[in-house]
Structure 1
Amino acid sequence: MTETTVPTTDRVGFIGLGSQGGPMARRIVEDGIATVLWARRQETLDAYSDTKAEYASSPADLGSRVDIACVCVVDDAGVEQVVAGDGGLLSSMASGGVIVIHSTVHPDTCRRLAEQAAEKGITLIDAPVSGGGMGAEARKLLVMVGGDAETLERVRPVFATYANPIVHLGPVGAGQRAKLINNLMLTANLGVLESAYALARSLEVDPEQLSTVLSHGSGNSFAVNVLRGPDFVLGPMGAMAGPLLQKDTRLVVDLARAAGAEPGTVLTAADAALDSMGCQR
């Protein structure tokens, strides 16, 4: 932990031990915070057999044993299930507890669950992340927080094990809105970049050489490190990244429509990327 971070005495639970959540949970455990983990598959938990982490038999079991529960599952349905479903966190967590939603989901999902949690004396905040497993391992994840500022200070020692910076954006749901715009921008950058590589071929510029230029030039973006050769096209990424980017783009469009806002050029470029990945919005 950093010198300015006060260690926490809260017990922390973590649900969602995938490529993003797994490294985050390991950082918490390895920094000496008492941690309880739950996963549907035992082999997922086996990866932590070399740590002091404890295991729970269900989300409800985990909720009854922790003060702060972090959730990093894939989608809205998964978040709803582990938080408010039968045998979810709200069925057992004590008043005064905190639930942290690290998943990228609709802001309304977080607001609705926060209201349900408040009825039980539990505070829910949204804290989606960006930076991947490598970012968590390096303590450099970006965490975008929506919720009560006092609650953020309570959970900050947990976030500090894997994150820097930690940005407070406003009330519950604000973190999700920022994360969705961030992901829309990534999708748009991928669409623009694929188009730029196609143009490069037409102008007899080697895409491999151009990728070096872009990675060191003013045209650089995170997308340059994502869209690589040999063909510099988005199709091969479709199976893995396409559905998630499609989900997030749809959520942004839903938010824009509700607000009467026009997404504009960024959505046009994002749609081009999704089309190339075979995951049309």
Structure 2
Amino acid sequence: MSTVGFLGAGRMGAPMVRRLVEAGHDVDAVGRTDDKRAAVAELGANPVAGLTAGAHDVVVVCVFTDDQVRELCLAGDVVAGMRPGSTLVVHTTGSPTTVRDVAARFDHVDVVDAPVSGGPHDIAAGRVTLFVGATDDALERVRPVLGAYGDPILHAGPTGSGQLVKLINNTLFVAQIGLVAEATRLGTRLGIEEGPLLQALTHGSSASRVLGMIASAGSAEAFISAVGEFIGKDVDVVRRTVADLGADLGVLDTVLDAGVRR
């Protein structure tokens, strides 16, 4: 079993911490306030105000934004203090440039980007999807940690590849939401109520996982309202990253906005 330092025991990170503890790993989870450290203790982890340099086999970062990753891993001393041969795992969805920059600056650690596809309930059940960018050796060393909550663990390629796959996944996800939203608008113009339309379409050749999720929410507007905070952030990252890499979104760009807001 591994000694694990954990940063970001929030909505997504908390069930990860619990699963790691239940799998037998020794987990130090950072809490910046007394209340947050108490919440960490309830998960079974060791609550700490900060990570002790060189104390962990693996350090996991599961914060909300790419800027937070850069602040912790590039501007801060989190990675600099890790011992040689240890592994940094970044679950935050962000730019592949960020994890590549960390890997280039700190060659004494292995950097594994492993953005997730799924929610807290998937993590709690041990079945959240992980898109992983890493060397073969680094992934195998950290697999027992990731396997505490991740299944499947999908190796996309070298460091940064996991982020690229996740960004493409999220682009397609939002585009599909946008297509369904536009389809319901067409239905309204033609005199078909949205609820019955969505339920009917889930049984037709247009059925998809996204369509089923929207139908369960009752309307495209309700679903977009529920997930808008997260997908809006991801769309911004997608557009910046694609532009930085000298590519474009093509026809996908025309439906992204429809998937973010009604």
Shift of the 81–44 alpha-carbon distance from structure 1 to 2, 3 Å rule, reads same
**2:76 is equivalent to residue 90 of structure 1:** no
Q: What does residue 170 of structure 1 align with? A: 157
Shift of the 22–222 alpha-carbon distance from structure 1 to 2, 3 Å rule, reads farther
**2:181 is equivalent to residue 191 of structure 1:** no
**2:32 is equivalent to residue 75 of structure 1:** no
- The answer to whether the Cα contact below 8 Å between 2:26 and 2:45 also exists between their aligned partners in 1 is yes
Match for 1:103: what amino acid?
T
SS of 1:36's equivalent?
Answer: strand
| CA deviation vs aligned residue, 1:167-217 (integer Å, no higher than 9, x gap) | 111111110000001111111111111111222223333322233233444
Larger CA deviation: 99-108 vs 22-31: 22-31
Match for 1:135: what amino acid?
D
Match for 2:196: what amino acid?
Q
- The answer to whether the Cα contact below 8 Å between 1:146 and 1:173 also exists between their aligned partners in 2 is yes
Match for 1:15: what amino acid?
L
How many Å apart are 1:231 and its aligned residue? 6.9
How many Å apart are 1:43 and its aligned residue? 2.4
- CA distance in 1: counterparts of 2:253 and 2:147, whole angstroms: 33
- CA distance in 2: counterparts of 1:50 and 1:73, whole angstroms: 20
How do 1:189-228 residues align onto structure 2 when only pairs under 5 Å count?
A: 189-227=176-214
Shift of the 133–218 alpha-carbon distance from structure 1 to 2, 3 Å rule, reads farther
Paired residue for 2:34, among 23, 27, 42?
42
Number of aligned residue pairs: give it: 262
Stretches of structure 2 that go unaligned for 5 or more consecutive residues are none
How many Å apart are 1:221 and its aligned residue? 3.0
- CA distance in 2: counterparts of 1:93 and 1:241, whole angstroms: 35
- CA distance in 1: counterparts of 2:23 and 2:203, whole angstroms: 35
Q: What does residue 137 of structure 1 align with? A: 124
SS of 1:134's equivalent?
Answer: helix
- CA distance in 2: counterparts of 1:50 and 1:271, whole angstroms: 40
Paired residue for 2:22, among 11, 16, 30?
30
Larger CA deviation: 131-140 vs 266-275: 266-275
- CA distance in 1: counterparts of 2:141 and 2:204, whole angstroms: 41
Match for 2:91: what amino acid?
H
**2:102 is equivalent to residue 113 of structure 1:** yes
- CA distance in 1: counterparts of 2:30 and 2:187, whole angstroms: 48
- The answer to whether the Cα contact below 8 Å between 2:93 and 2:163 also exists between their aligned partners in 1 is yes
Shift of the 229–81 alpha-carbon distance from structure 1 to 2, 3 Å rule, reads same
**If the length of structure 1 is used for normalisation, what is the TM-score?**
0.84
| CA deviation vs aligned residue, 1:5-51 (integer Å, no higher than 9, x gap) | xxxx2211211122212211211111221111013333233234344
How well do the aligned residues superpose, as a CA RMSD in angstroms? 2.3
- CA distance in 1: counterparts of 2:205 and 2:5, whole angstroms: 42
| CA deviation vs aligned residue, 1:37-72 (integer Å, no higher than 9, x gap) | 0133332332343443112211x43x5321101111
**If the length of structure 2 is used for normalisation, what is the TM-score?**
0.89
| CA deviation vs aligned residue, 1:83-132 (integer Å, no higher than 9, x gap) | 2333x3124211111100100011101100111221xx111111101111
- CA distance in 2: counterparts of 1:47 and 1:211, whole angstroms: 40
- CA distance in 2: counterparts of 1:44 and 1:198, whole angstroms: 44
